[in-house]
Amino acid sequence: MDLIYRNANRVLVWLGNDNHRIAAEAFRLVKDLGVVFGLHQGHANLGHDLSNRVGHLSKSRDLWSPLRELTRLPWFTRVWIVQEIGAKAPATLFWGEAYIEWDLLYSVCKAINGEHHLRKQVDVQTPKITYMYRRLIEPDRMIANRHANRFSFLYELHRGRHLVATDPRDRVFAMLGHYSIRNGPNQKLRELTADYTKTVKEVFADVASRALVGDNSSLLALAAVQHHNLPPLGENMAEPTAPIIAHHLRMAYLPGFRTGVFINRISFQSLPAHTTLGTIVDVVAACSGPFRPREFHVNGLDWSMAIHTVWRDVCGQSSGFDLSQKYLPTRKRFQGGEIEGLALFAYVQTLSNACVATAWQDNNHPYESVPTQQWFAHGVSYLTQAAGGGSSPYAVSDSNDDKLQEWTSGGDAAKWARAANGASCNRKFARTRNGYYVLGPRVMKPGDVICVLLGGKMPFCLRPWGKNNYLLVGECYVHGIMNGEIIDGAKNGENVFDIV
């Protein structure tokens, strides 16, 4: 079926009946916003132009209701629609008697996506629309930043977790035309076919098996597993509501984790159990509870207390947000400068997955090109607002006010909050016995083992199970080892992990 759409000259799409007679108004609003957007280079000025040219719209949720209803049409969440609209052919979308060009609708929705506060205020679900655009068209492989994940079939399954399928097996089968399978290096995944004689569990277990056995240079299949109650590998992938990552967790593609230093010696005897090599980093000593969606919001005076309680109860910091506190004080040096050795820097970076998403959102700037001070400034800006000013016992403080001003100038609390909400939702913050800060799965608990598995792109959390076995808890961010420090200077040697 995907060949039909890939070879089409034009696609005509039926969105459904216009029962409430709002389609023409919705498309008129899209076209008006398209004019506003087309007057300027880039979408950074969209919010300013909206306030000047169609400012009355942004002040009233009712005036946005036609576009809001458009973004909520069931068509945009159907799993089989990806191959219909995700190809290169131009498309025209019909809603009742009204119609609009797909390229225009996508461009306007993409611009609105970049205006996070506007999208929140008017409550339009534009990411559901932009997700579909050219989803099956291979991006430029020379662009190694944000597009890198899209060459992974497992990532695409994860990314499409919001899509609806009457048959849960279609979450896999509808994506078999994706370029990550056709052009990817994993021969086992290329051999995958739609087999409706298999159960839902068997389909997802088959995907996990092929992903692991067919690619011994990556442990992405393990990173995609996030449990609610720790069943064996593959079982939770079959849940209809969360085929890859339960509870809408984000996959952490970490900034500098050097997979090239690993010796990829991974053996898989029989799934769901497998054996791999790695090294133990530490053991979890204390955990927070799972963070709620939008835990770290920017909303006037209504600030979450989690930012304070985790710092006090999990990190063990009783003196407020004090810049004199050092992270891993026994370590001789950190990569970078003085900021990298601060406990507060480690804290805000861990909660936000090192602000990797912010680098993407800021015009796709390469992560490595952004000064460390900028990420710290974003985090401290949020902490300052959440603490309620200098009179609070949790106000950010330092004996050198000039240094504090230098480090925190230009910070954007909203940027840090957005990164932290995306990274931490339904995850836990933890501290290990030796003081590492960890952002890990919601089922993580004290006694779990933090380790680096050879061939992995990020650290993992395992739970000792029986005499020699481990349960896979999930991937995690561990501040201070994301640039290969454990592998470069491992003192504990290699360990054999039998994961069941």
pLDDT in tens, 477-486: 999 998 776 6
Nearest to 499 by CA among 219, 259, 250, 251: 219
Output the six-digit token pair for 349.
Answer: 């970076």
Angle between helices 46-53 and 23-38 (to 10 degrees): 120
**CA proximity to 293, closest of 421, 203, 403, 389:** 421
Q: Is the pLDDT of residue 280 over 80?
A: yes
Structure token digits, residue 66: 């036609």
Using 50, 70 and 90 to split pLDDT, how confident is the model at 199? very high
Tokens (6 digits) for 26: 């919705």
* Cα–Cα distance, 415 to 362 (Å, whole number): 10
Q: Give the count of alpha carbons within 13 A of 307, CB side only.
A: 31
Q: What are the backbone angles phi and psi of residue 232, rounded to the nearest 5°?
A: -65, 165
CB 106 within 8 A of CB 130: yes
> pLDDT by residue (tens digit) across 124-178?
999 999 999 999 888 876 554 555 677 888 888 888 889 999 999 999 999 998 9
Q: 405-443: per-residue pLDDT in tens?
A: 777 788 998 899 999 998 999 899 999 999 999 999 999
**Structure token pair of residue 239:** 């849940």
CB atoms within 10 A of CB 196: 10
| Percentage of the chain exceeding pLDDT 90 | 38
Rg of the chain over Cα atoms, rounded to whole angstroms, equals 24
Instruction: State pLDDT tens for residues 300-335.
Output: 556 778 999 999 999 999 878 888 889 997 676 665
Domain residue ranges of the chain, discontinuous segments joined by +: 2-132, 146-253, 275-284+432-499, 291-425
Are residues 193 and 280 in contact, defined by beta-carbon separation less than 8 angstroms? no
pLDDT digits (tens, 9 = 90+) for 321-375: 888 889 997 676 665 568 889 999 999 999 999 998 888 777 656 778 888 999 9
Residue 312: predicted pLDDT? 93
Identify whether the C-beta of residue 450 lies closer than 8 Å to the C-beta of residue 461.
yes
CA separation, residue 338 to residues 213, 327, 355, 478 (Å): 43, 11, 19, 19
Residues forming beta bridges with residue 2, ordered by sequence position: none
Number of C-beta neighbours around residue 195 at 10 A: 12
Tokens 């960890």 belong to residue: 438
